Amino acid sequence: MKWLPLHIRRQLHLSAYMYRIVNGYSPKNYMNKFSYISGGSRDGNNCNLYTKKSRSHKEFYYLGAKCWNLLPQPLRNADSPKGFSNSYKKQLMDSVFQDTDYLPNNKFDNLYTIS
């Protein structure tokens, strides 16, 4: 069976939740907790979210912004939450199962980057 490792499933679900927050599929007060990077930087042009400092690296606002910032631009522009989840899961599965150097790492703040 092709199941994603637990830490990557956690990343998938958090990214899907962030997609809903950023694109207005959740209550507005959630988006008020995040802010976009501004000032003409590369990150600002990519619509990245500001990553607040975190002591434990387990806080939702820290991990959520970090997950969103790792997403490729075409995924961020998906038409619906379901389409986002399906395409991101497919990309993660393809990347993990083709990566010969992949090693599971279940730390909360270690996020997998699609190669």
Q: Phi, psi (5° rounding) for residue 19? A: -60, -45
What is the pLDDT tens value at each position of the chain, 115 positions in all? 578 888 899 999 999 999 999 998 988 888 888 877 765 555 545 678 877 776 767 788 888 888 898 999 899 999 999 999 999 999 999 988 888 888 888 776 678 888 6
Token digits of residue 25 = 């599929």
Locus of tokens 């490792």: 5
Locus of tokens 């802010």: 35
User: Cα separations (Å) of 42 from 33, 45, 46, 112?
Assistant: 22, 5, 6, 21
